[in-house]
């Protein structure tokens, strides 16, 4: 096994900025990727077992997606669906976390993102299990031939009003085209009776989604509130909803500890993915 020197720079709380060559390097033992594949490239993000190019995607690799991909309950999952896959990040993470018999479908509307997600999947160890489809999820949900035991989405959440740099980024960020009510309706068409629908959202948007979901007959099974530090209120929430009744499990996780390093809980959740864990 070769030792590869990797430099890391500081990461924003909910945005992964990449790596900085100005910091002093330190060695990591990189497994399950060839040295050539492990070379840090400027057009994406390198994880322990796969690389995500995202230069042609409106939304880049970010902590929200990483948290959802690492957190979503995969035990017993037989078929997985990623709604609005973008670069394919969450689909790749769930493929890593599930067995060889689990198929992962990833649906994305934007043509450029679809092409990049397909390339990312093809370069991964799970190319035969990840299927990227270009389609509108409303159309997909009405024509899907089977249901999914796990559905995940890092959905748009901003109310229209602020300009975005591109129409593609606006579509990825704003709820104009895909409201949460429409998203829940699509999930209802696609979920198994005991399946889970998991999302990551800002805390206020998450509260509204839970209320809306419960009105539609969904049940909250898991909720993890995410805060930057212990002293700050949660600003993100991970939710697992199901058609199946059950008592909800609610907890909280901080990204950074009192020393401003990543917290033990955050490191434990993401250690199978980040190179520096």
Paired tokens of 244: 């199946």
Lowest mean pLDDT among 2-11, 67-76, 176-185, 191-200: 2-11
| pLDDT tens string 210-225 | 999 999 999 999 999 9
Q: Residue 68 sits in which domain range?
A: 56-270
Helices (H) and strands (E) in the chain, counts: 9, 12
CA distances from 140 to 85, 187, 213 (A): 14, 11, 20
Residues above pLDDT 90, as percent of the chain: 71
pLDDT of res. 170: 46
Paired tokens of 74: 């995969």
What is the average pLDDT score of the chain? 83
Q: What's the domain count of the chain?
A: 1
CATH number at residue 136: 3.40.50.150
Q: How many Å apart are CA 25 and CA 213, to the nearest integer?
A: 47
Q: Could you list the beta-strand ranges (E) of 78-218.
A: 79-83, 103-108, 130-134, 148-153, 191-202
Q: How many Å apart are CA 150 and CA 250, to the nearest integer?
A: 19
H/E stretch holding 196 reads strand 191-202
Position 138 in a domain: yes
pLDDT at 259 over 60: yes
pLDDT of res. 169: 46
Position 7 in a domain: no
38 against 236, higher pLDDT: 236
Nearest to 77 by CA among 109, 61, 100: 100
Using alpha carbons only, what angle is made at residue 72 by residues 68 and 75, rounded to the nearest 5 degrees? Answer: 160
Position 202 in a domain: yes
CA distances from 193 to 79, 95, 219, 258 (A): 13, 22, 12, 42
Which are the contacts of 243, defined by CB distance < 8 A and separation ≥ 6? Answer: 188, 191, 193, 194, 195, 217, 218, 219
When pLDDT is averaged across residues 266-274 and rounded to a whole number, the result is: 96
171 against 267, higher pLDDT: 267
Position 128 in a domain: yes
| pLDDT tens string 80-115 | 999 999 999 999 999 999 999 999 999 999 999 999
Position 10 in a domain: no
pLDDT at 26 over 70: no
Position 16 in a domain: no
pLDDT at 208 over 80: yes
Residues above pLDDT 70, as percent of the chain: 77
Position 61 in a domain: yes
Q: How many Å apart are CA 223 and CA 239, to the nearest integer?
A: 5
What three-state secondary structure class fits 172? helix
Position 276 in a domain: no
What three-state secondary structure class fits 150? strand
pLDDT of res. 159: 52
67 against 159, higher pLDDT: 67
């Amino acid at each position: 096994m070769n030792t590869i020197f990797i430099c890391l720079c500081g990461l924003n709380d909910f945005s992964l900025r990449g790596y900085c060559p100005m910091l002093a390097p330190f060695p990591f033992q990189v497994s399950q990727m060839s040295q050539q594949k492990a070379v840090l490239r400027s057009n994406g993000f390198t994880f322990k077992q796969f690389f995500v190019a995202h230069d042609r995607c409106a939304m880049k690799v970010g902590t929200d997606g990483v948290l959802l991909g690492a957190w979503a309950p995969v035990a017993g999952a037989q078929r997985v669906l990623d709604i609005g896959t973008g670069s394919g990040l969450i689909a790749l993470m769930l493929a890593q976390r599930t067995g060889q018999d689990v198929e992962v479908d990833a649906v994305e509307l934007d043509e450029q993102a679809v092409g990049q997600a397909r390339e990312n999947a093809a370069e991964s160890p799970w190319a035969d299990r990840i299927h990227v489809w270009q389609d509108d999820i409303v159309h997909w949900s009405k024509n899907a031939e089977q249901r999914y035991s796990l559905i995940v989405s890092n959905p748009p959440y901003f109310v229209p009003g602020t300009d975005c740099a591109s129409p593609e980024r606006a579509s990825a960020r704003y709820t104009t085209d895909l409201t949460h009510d429409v998203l829940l309706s699509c999930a209802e068409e696609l979920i198994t009776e005991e399946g889970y629908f998991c999302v990551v959202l800002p805390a206020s948007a998450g509260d509204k989604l839970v209320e809306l979901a419960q009105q539609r007959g969904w049940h909250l099974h898991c909720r993890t509130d995410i805060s930057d530090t212990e002293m700050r209120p949660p600003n993100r929430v991970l939710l697992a909803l199901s058609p199946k009744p059950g008592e909800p499990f609610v907890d909280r996780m901080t990204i950074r500890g009192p020393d401003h390093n990543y917290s033990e809980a955050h490191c434990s959740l993401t250690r199978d993915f980040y190179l520096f864990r």
